[in-house]
Amino acid sequence: MFMPSTSKGCKKRGEEISPTREGSSNSSQVIESSIECIDLESSLPDKQTAINMQPTGTKKQQEDSPSREHQKSIENHSNKEMEKNIEKTSRDLEKGQLEMSHKRKNKDEYDEVMEKYESGGGGGGGGGGGRRSADNKGKEGKGQGNSSSHKLYKKVTPRKSPKKSTQMEKNGHEKCKEASNLRSILASAAERRIKATVPSSSKAVSSTHQLSPDLFEDEDTDNRTKMGEQEVHWRGSPLSSLTTLSSTNLNLPSVSPSPTHTVMVKLPLSTSGPALPHPTSYTDVWDQHHVRMPCSPRSQYPLSKNSDVIVSRWSVICQALCRDMSSVEDFQKVVLEYNTRYASKWKFRGLQYLLERELEEEESEHFFHNTLPAIASLALRLPQLVTQAPPLLTKHTTHSVTFSQLQIASLLANAFFCTFPRRNAKGSETEYASYPDINFNRLFFHKEKRALEKLKCIINYFRRITIKEPTGNVTFTRQHISTSDLPSWLSCTNHLPRLHVDTVGLIEEAEGLLQVDFANKFLGGGVLGLGCVQEEIRFVLSPELLISRLFTQVLDNTEALIITGVEQFNSGNGYSSTFIWGGSCQDTTPRDLWGRRLCQVTAIDALHFTKQPQIQYRESFIKRELNKAYAGFRVLDKSTGAPIAVATGNWGCGAFRGNPRLKALIQLAACAYVGRDLAYFTFGDEKLRDDLVTMYIFLKENNVTVGALVQVLNQHGARGWGDGSDFFQYIYHSLRAYDSDTDSETTTTTKPLESDVPVSTHNSRGCPRVISDYFKRSGPSTSRSSSSSSSTSHKNPQSKPLPQSSYVTEGGAAIKDSLSEEKILQVLSECDRLIEGQKSKDKMSAECFSTSDDKHVRDACDRVLSKGEKRDNQGKEGMRRDEKKNKVLQSTGEPSRLLSVLDEIDTEVS
């Protein structure tokens, strides 16, 4: 699977050119006999050959020809010679003196010559070619008439000889068969040793916490263990083994008023219906630390465009929303009545296109007659539902706000009617320049398909909550990590947690996990515009997330927003321009003691690397992303229960041009630091899934800590020229050297290396690595203390502990086997590389041996005209040539040598 085997295909091709012993014997007899006939024909005098090449006359002339009797004597003599050769060939086969490869060469060589000979390229041998065909037909039809003689002996127009020799095809088949044999021996021997070294009394994992299918499972393995009719799409630990939110594991802080937690509802919560607001009556606050509410008496507005009379803006809003709205034009007039300065800028053509062209007439009528008036009524209830101004979640603060779902609905209804003051002005000097926009006017403008589909989601949300009021609560927490509280990544000794990697499924479908929102630093990104990627889609599927734009200032480098209790109202399909509303979603997620859905979302923003993606490997940027992930993954203060797993994916890897493999390791390291498991969704990328699990197994089997992993990430970026193409390969080589150094110590230490990790694809002599290098440790490190060196200098380097392959247990620990699956996969890959290199060498050699067509035909005719002794010499010479061609392959990847390496491993382990 990590390296699909090609042995099956090679075997089939080999079978096509490798007949059974019995079939090959018969074929060889025919070939040998036919060659003898050609020898006899070619030995005829030139005069006789000239007679045979002349056009035939009438039947009577043919019968009176004096050469008829002579020709019969030749045929009788040839038949006797054929019988002798058949007997000789049979004796040779019985004694085992002829090899299958030799016979195939004779057949290929003969077919090549006869093809050229019959096409006229053989000069004087053309008659012999015709006679060979006549003999074959005589055997099959048991008779040959004059018509046959006429057809066989007529002169053939010369053709151009074939461009490619069958010798090249034969070499390809043989090399493919060698590759098949080599890979089969490797895979079977490695699997046999792995199975043999696992004690029967100990299981790698429990039945409910097994690893994904065996890394050696291959499509062409007949005796493989099937994992069911349905193809397995995940690798690593099962999703069910990860810690989740549940009634027995409420890994959440409680809802209680405090200086760092503003509760907008009355406690204790009501057992029936929506939670009552707190305080009971509206209390106005109008300052830079709170949301400026539309219903505030301090929000004022001029009575008319040129009037100096100032009135309460909320009164203007109430009058406008009480009017009848039966069309988009009416709706637009209402909105612009208290936003007069934008009358020439705001156009609601997108909303108009949706309601007049996209939706059915009945749906449009229902919207104008039912849904829109209900939204207006909900907006006007704002002073009764939200009785205090919510605090702004500003930079460098950690604060939480808890709303009822009905309060969020009323606030969003006001955003729908664009009532929030001071939120429309743009510019770096405006009051809310560092906040996302909240009024929906931009969403109403765009007619693009994705914008219309987002509008459908929002309209469906309002339709549902106006028909049946929601009764739950939602908490928004801005988490800031101060500089003094940031992790010391290089000194972290935590080991990696459990990892689940899946190609199907979505983050929002991972129930009970901490779901990552690939956020913009301005929460929601382009959700109210044309943006329609991961964050924007998540916000319209759960529109309650939109309200975070009202009070959340732009996120800093060590900050995240965690939302607890959000409900999903819509389902969707597609992505970006292909996104469509998938209908209404009935969220059945259970609630906690405070009426919040057991769903937690963390919004973390990745860095932009659109213009210079290569700089993302620098240490400063890696540290920034680590700190950002830590801010989003750290368990909230006063939380109870065990930390739940994180559900994430290719964070910052779309338009931001991040490397998904780098981002995956960063998130894995952050999860390890805070003690969370990780579920990673690759969104259909199977190669990424397999690469991540391969790397994860490698890290686990070498007991790599968070500090060691972060250090090698920094060292990779310190080179300054890497583009990420060798990212994983660098880690493999670097951590092998690190692991070799740690093995030379007498005591186990978890402190990461302080010196640079050497990286090379060559051994100490400057030669390329061979297959056996993957099974051997490096010598003792010279960078350790003198006491450590002295304790290991007298030992044989090959007697060091071998790399252990690991399986993830329920507790995240690794159960080790004697042979690394990763090493075996690398061996198989190395075999492919060696064989491909040998193929190219053979091809170059064959091109050097090739000559012009005429010379090639003359040489082939000489080989055909030679006697039996000369053919035997050619057979021996051919076998010597094969041995010479296989010399490089045998010296670097001989199966017996590989098996001996595996035997050495067994000996060392025992």
Q: Catalytic residue positions?
A: 517, 535-536
DSSP calls for 685-744: -HHHHHHHHHHHHHHHHTT-BHHHHHHHHHHHHHTS---STTHHHHHHHHHHHHHHHHHT
Sign of CA dihedral 864, 868, 869, 875: positive
Calculate the dihedral angle through the C-alpha atoms of 270, 274, 278, 281, rounding to the nearest 10 degrees: -120
The one-letter amino acid at 620: S
Specify the 3-state DSSP secondary structure of 802.
Answer: coil
Q: Residue 650: exposed, middle, or buried by beta-carbon count in 10 A (0-12, 13-18, 19+)?
A: buried
H or E stretch covering 473? strand 473-480
Q: Are 547 and 523 in contact (CB under 8 A)?
A: no
| Cβ partners under 8 Å of residue 907, min gap 6 | none
Helix (DSSP H) and strand (DSSP E) numbers for the chain: 31, 16
Strands 600-605 and 514-519: parallel
Q: How many Å apart are CA 549 and CA 551, to the nearest integer?
A: 6
Any idea what the Cα angle at residue 206 is, between residues 202 and 209, rounded to 5°?
140
DSSP string for residues in 817-883 = ESS-HHHHHHHHHHHHHHHHHHHHHHHHHHHHH---HHHHHHHHHHHHHS-HHHHHHHHHHHHHHHH
The answer to whether 106 is annotated as binding is: no
Cis (ω within 30 of 0) for the bond into 297? no
Identify the three-state secondary structure at position 648: strand
* Residue written as token pair 């964050």: 535
Residue 534 annotated as part of some ligand binding site: yes
Distances (CA, A) of 883 to 427, 876, 910: 79, 11, 37
Separation in Å, CA 407 to CA 547, 551, 582: 10, 14, 26
Under 8 Å between Cβ of 184 and 85: no
Distance from the first to the final alpha carbon of the chain? 29
Determine the Cα–Cα distance for residues 117 and 386; give it in Å rounded to an integer.
99
Binding-site residues from annotation: 520, 534, 575
Binding-site residues from annotation for substrate: 520, 534, 575
